[in-house]
């Protein structure tokens, strides 16, 4: 129902048209809810943008997801015909860790862990004894302490540290397992052991829905942007306002008043019963000015890491064999890149035949300063690292894109519990308001999709 040209009434306003916002809107649409999505950018998808250029297909944001819950499976089933899931092949299991300048295979099981040169002999015995160690009692123990206690220092340095660099671009000394890796934390708390808990969980009977959760690495045919484009179609372009600037929300006697400026600079108002935010923590203070500063401080203090992403393509690859997922670089190795993904090895049609597409990452929590480097300085670093680590005698890529992310990945540190509880209290204080997004419930694509469905269900 429209009261005048620039004032609209609806049931739900969704803030943000990234993966979380679009998926929330998809389910609101499925549940026959009336809604409007407001997005400040002039395109949907947030950082998820897939670009085709000169025979290469590269990503501007996340490169892969994991089929980690049933909602991911359900969403792709519902988008059949609009978007085609693509899972990585068997070589996804081949992952490499740099040690003393040499790539080593990351162990895939207990037998590999005993034989790998990545871990010390002392820690190999420690790993074998892990099931017999008592569970920790400090819920705010950091990940570095957690891993050293259960598996040893070399396991931390050459398995967990690079894993955390790959997922969070983070630091195990900062992240808290209870918040950042809750499944890992729960294994110890529930079963008393990571190895024993994983073994016992493997024998638990699964529902038909759970059997579909393959844990496989995925993208989409034509890139992850195909997913957000399919969601855009599912939601309906008429339900999304792009270029919405200066969005502010205020509680009203019944519901909320949402104001913004449209792409033409006109002031617009939406009266809604409910508001769902999927914005980053850093954007909330301006958007939700009615929330007290003391409460907001517990939310927008969330640390986001800065990351430089590079898409690098070669028409003719002449370096080392790219057979696997990619390689990660432990902080102990003191390199200027975090790792490299072999995208043309993982998925089809990412590079010309005989060529290669790499995704290389720099920065992260320990090197936030690198985001300030010039393009020339970044190029110089990447050339040196590629020559030394990937077997290239010359560095003449046919595609070279530098993508800077100032608000890349939230870091779930010790303050996370207070942030989560503050959000819960605010949602009780302001009925109809939901604060979602990657500031809670996980950072992966599967986490975002699962949360989105829950946000939509809560709005019913």
Predicted TM-score (pTM) of this structure? 0.94
Decide: 350 and 176 in contact? Cβ < 8 Å: no
According to DSSP, the residues that pair with 59 across neighbouring strands are: 50
**CA torsion 174→178→183→187, rounded to 10°?**
110
- Token pair of 40, please? 């400040």
The conformation of residue 223, written as its DSSP 8-state character, comes to -
Mean pLDDT by 10 residues, the chain (460 residues): 68 98 98 97 97 97 96 96 93 94 90 89 92 94 97 96 96 98 95 88 81 92 98 97 97 95 95 98 97 97 97 97 96 97 96 97 96 97 97 97 97 98 98 97 97 97
The conformation of residue 177, written as its DSSP 8-state character, comes to H
The string of DSSP codes covering 268-331 is EEEEEEEEEE---GGGHHHH-TTS-HHHHHHHHT--EEEEEEEEEEESS--SS---SSEEE--G
C-alpha 206 chain-centroid distance: 26
According to DSSP, the residues that pair with 431 across neighbouring strands are: none
Helix (H) or strand (E) holding 197: helix 194-202
Burial degree of 421 (CB within 10 A; 0-12, 13-18, 19+): exposed
For residues 213 and 345, what is the distance between their CA atoms, to the nearest angstrom?
Answer: 23
Give the per-residue SS3 of 348-402. CCCCCCCCEEEEEEEECHHHHHHHHCCHHHHHHHHHHHHHHHCCCCCCCCCEEEE
For residues 426 and 433, what is the distance between their CA atoms, to the nearest angstrom?
Answer: 8
What CATH number should be reported for the domain whose range is 119-203?
1.10.3110.10
For residues 277 and 45, what is the distance between their CA atoms, to the nearest angstrom?
Answer: 15
- Token pair of 17, please? 């048209």
For residues 438 and 444, what is the distance between their CA atoms, to the nearest angstrom?
Answer: 8
For residues 438 and 20, what is the distance between their CA atoms, to the nearest angstrom?
Answer: 8
For residues 430 and 437, what is the distance between their CA atoms, to the nearest angstrom?
Answer: 18
Contacts of 266 (CB under 8 A, 6+ apart): 6
- Side-chain half-sphere of 81: how many Cα atoms within 13 Å? 3
Contacts of 269 (CB under 8 A, 6+ apart): 6, 7, 8, 257, 258, 259
Is CATH 3.20.20.140 the classification given to domain 2-46+222-301+412-458?
A: no
Decide: 308 and 378 in contact? Cβ < 8 Å: yes
Contacts of 321 (CB under 8 A, 6+ apart): none
* pLDDT value of position 5: 57
For residues 117 and 158, what is the distance between their CA atoms, to the nearest angstrom?
Answer: 10
C-alpha 164 chain-centroid distance: 12
For residues 226 and 220, what is the distance between their CA atoms, to the nearest angstrom?
Answer: 6
Decide: 240 and 398 in contact? Cβ < 8 Å: no
For residues 431 and 243, what is the distance between their CA atoms, to the nearest angstrom?
Answer: 28
Q: Residue 374: count other Cβ atoms within 10 Å of its Cβ.
A: 9
* pLDDT value of position 166: 95
* pLDDT value of position 11: 97
What is the residue extent of each domain of the chain? 2-46+222-301+412-458, 119-203, 304-410
* pLDDT value of position 325: 96
- Based on its alpha-carbon atoms, the radius of gyration of the chain, rounded to whole angstroms, reads 23
CATH architecture of 304-410: Alpha-Beta Complex (3.90)
């Amino acid at each position: 129902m429209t009261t005048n040209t620039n004032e609209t009434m609806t049931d739900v306003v969704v803030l943000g048209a990234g993966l979380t916002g679009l998926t929330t809107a998809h389910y609101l649409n499925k549940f026959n809810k009336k809604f409007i999505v407001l997005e400040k950018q002039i395109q949907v998808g947030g950082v998820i943008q897939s670009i085709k250029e000169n025979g290469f297909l590269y990503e501007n944001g996340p490169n892969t997801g994991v089929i980690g819950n049933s909602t991911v499976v359900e969403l792709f089933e519902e988008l059949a015909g609009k978007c085609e899931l693509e899972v990585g092949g068997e070589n996804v299991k081949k992952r490499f860790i740099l040690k003393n300048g040499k790539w080593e295979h990351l162990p895939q099981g207990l037998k590999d862990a005993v034989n790998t040169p990545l871990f010390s002999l002392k820690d190999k015995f420690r790993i074998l004894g892990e099931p017999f160690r008592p569970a920790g009692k400090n819920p705010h123990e950091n990940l570095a302490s957690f891993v050293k206690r259960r598996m040893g220092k070399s396991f931390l340095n050459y398995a967990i540290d690079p894993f955390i660099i790959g997922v969070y671009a983070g630091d195990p000394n900062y992240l808290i397992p209870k918040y950042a890796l809750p499944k890992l934390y729960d294994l110890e708390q529930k079963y008393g052991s990571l190895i024993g808990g994983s073994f016992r969980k493997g024998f638990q009977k699964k529902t038909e829905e759970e059997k579909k959760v393959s844990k496989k690495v995925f993208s989409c045919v034509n890139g992850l942007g195909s997913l957000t484009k399919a969601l855009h179609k599912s939601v309906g372009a008429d339900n999304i306002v792009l270029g919405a600037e200066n969005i502010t929300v205020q509680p009203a006697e019944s519901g909320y008043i949402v104001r913004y400026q449209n792409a033409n600079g006109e002031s617009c108002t939406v009266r809604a019963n409910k508001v769902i935010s999927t914005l980053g923590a850093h954007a909330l203070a301006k958007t939700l000015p009615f929330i007290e500063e003391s409460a907001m401080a517990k939310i927008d203090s969330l640390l986001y890491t800065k990351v430089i992403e590079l898409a690098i393509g070669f028409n003719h690859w002449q370096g080392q064999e790219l057979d696997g997922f990619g390689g990660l670089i432990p902080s102990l190795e003191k390199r200027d890149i975090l790792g490299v993904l072999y995208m043309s090895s993982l998925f089809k049609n990412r590079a010309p035949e005989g060529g290669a597409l790499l995704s290389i990452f720099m920065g992260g929590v320990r090197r936030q300063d690198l985001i300030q480097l010039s393009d020339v300085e970044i190029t110089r670093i990447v050339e040196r690292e590629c020559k030394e680590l990937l077997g290239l005698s010359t560095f003449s890529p046919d595609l070279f894109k530098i993508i800077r992310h100032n608000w890349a990945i939230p870091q779930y540190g010790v303050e996370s519990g207070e942030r989560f509880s503050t959000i819960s209290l605010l949602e009780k204080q302001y009925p109809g308001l939901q604060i979602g997004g990657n500031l809670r419930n996980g950072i992966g694509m599967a986490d975002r999709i699962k949360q989105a469905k829950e946000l939509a269900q809560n709005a019913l």
